[in-house]
Structure 1
């Protein structure tokens, strides 16, 4: 059975990984003022966004996830012809409509795929499985990495789906923003009151940054740090401890909202890399998606790993 993977553009993983595993990307359309960007993890489009220096204005952007019709088109024109089963992984359904769109599209795909395959002299059933990773950005990475491993190992679809559900329920996605005013403006635009004006003012005045976590569909602060660099060091040191304790998937995914070369300069990153090297854990670095930067601001860090349930200690 030929099996494939599809993800939404807000799942942060290295381009080399996506190409190696032939991962299809469901795009997100973004409009900032009169500029339109297609967020499909294309590096040229990403650098066009960065070069235009739109980060400070993109809190007013409109983000449009891949529509039901576009998902149908991707599957019926391409994926049902290349695969017999596709696992479709998305960021948490509580923060994006893409999961809902994919689920709705699946009904039409499963209804019409036989006609498409028969016209191309193909027979046999096609399976489409939708998985909510229940977290955001780099936090979705470990679940996708595990999906690729299981497919390569030739596991059956039912076993893969069961395993991915377990990983999604135990995936931890962390985020460290740079600019609380930006984060509040973007949250207000989307009707999210989780970052109030007073907390944004106090945070900016005192240089207090929240450490945010996406876990099992819920997103909120789990700690506070003074200064972005100290926050990065705190997050990387904490993750290094979790790496040494043991992970469910031997991968830590990290994304940065800007030039990726800046990531390694942050305090604590060398220690995280050393912990991963010592334990045989892959440290996977990726530029943050345009969608991610629009929602949390340039210069932010997101990080994800999968581990047994535990209490965050910052």
Structure 2
């Protein structure tokens, strides 16, 4: 029996990844200038960042329930096994909708074999989990083995990131408006992380040099065997900063494996241009 892996576009992996690994893409939706787009498929994040710089506020919505119904019904008809690793339920309603639709499909196709995992992760932190699962499928791992490894990695994936302006996250309801106002008034750079799927501010610093050093210190405190890991870095149209952070991580920990990617449209619509994030495991399996 074949095995189909599903992931949504909030994992910030490029379209080429989905095509190469034969992973089914479930795009989140992005609304810009009275048009609705499918993240990755019909809009690219550069367009989103340019719009934000010009004062336009994009909006996002969860994956299409109709698309989920079509994909899950098709899986059931083919009699294939499926695994959908979903964007954090604390940041999108896609996971809850997917579970509801799977249960509806099972009423007509009781033998549907589809597991849905709430990753509690975002961006390349989520992407690294999907990448691991795709590689393990190619290696011939069983579905049960992959689910166990995915759940472990989701539980232990660290997200350390900073944004250029907390207003972007506040407008989307991702952080409190009070945090955004304080950050703007003091001209400080916030550092946030993801805790149980939610965005939590953990520190604030002034100055780019101190910002980078603080990120490195947090990695030192939280990371496990960082020289052996694939470290993820995502950025909001600021590749120069991403490469600078990569070099600092190499120098500090001897890391040689990196996955660097621009933040996708759905996540970028809330994080905004200038965002910089690093992802790693706090415990190796």
Answer with 249-258 or 171-180: which moved more: 249-258
Distance 1:14 1:230, change over 3 A: farther
Aligned 8 A contact 1:211 1:222 in 2: yes
Q: 1:237 and 1:17 mapped to 2: Cα distance?
A: 31
Distance 1:228 1:25, change over 3 A: farther
- Alignment gaps of 5+ in structure 1: 115-124, 310-314
Report the counterpart of residue 294 of structure 1 in structure 2: 269
Report the counterpart of residue 94 of structure 1 in structure 2: 90
TM-score normalised per structure 1:
0.77
Please show how residues 210-225 of structure 1 align to structure 2 within 5 Å.
210-225=190-205
Q: Deviations over 1:162-194 (max 9, x none)?
A: 22222211111222110123333333xxxx662
Report the counterpart of residue 122 of structure 1 in structure 2: none
For residue 111 of structure 1, report the CA deviation from its aligned partner: 4.2
Secondary structure in structure 2 of the residue aligned to 1:5: strand
TM-score normalised per structure 2:
0.84
Secondary structure in structure 2 of the residue aligned to 1:283: strand
* Residue among 41, 46, 49 paired with 2:47: 49
Answering whether residue 45 of structure 2 is matched by residue 66 of structure 1, we say: no
Q: 1:22 and 1:236 mapped to 2: Cα distance?
A: 35
For residue 238 of structure 1, report the CA deviation from its aligned partner: 4.1
Q: 1:163 and 1:155 mapped to 2: Cα distance?
A: 10
Provide the alpha-carbon RMSD of the alignment.
3.1
* Residue among 126, 129, 134 paired with 2:115: 129
Please show how residues 222-301 of structure 1 align to structure 2 within 5 Å.
222-228=202-208, 230-236=210-216, 238-239=218-219, 245-246=224-225, 250-258=229-237, 261-266=239-244, 268-273=245-250, 278-279=254-255, 282-301=257-276
Secondary structure in structure 2 of the residue aligned to 1:295: helix
Distance 1:34 1:18, change over 3 A: same
Please show how residues 107-146 of structure 1 align to structure 2 within 5 Å.
107-112=103-108, 126-146=112-132
Aligned 8 A contact 1:210 1:224 in 2: yes
Secondary structure in structure 1 of the residue aligned to 2:10: coil
Report how many residues are paired: 284
Q: Deviations over 1:94-126 (max 9, x none)?
A: 221000011112123344458xxxxxxxxxx65
Q: Deviations over 1:56-107 (max 9, x none)?
A: 5454x33221133220112334x55778222111121122100001111212
For residue 289 of structure 1, report the CA deviation from its aligned partner: 1.2
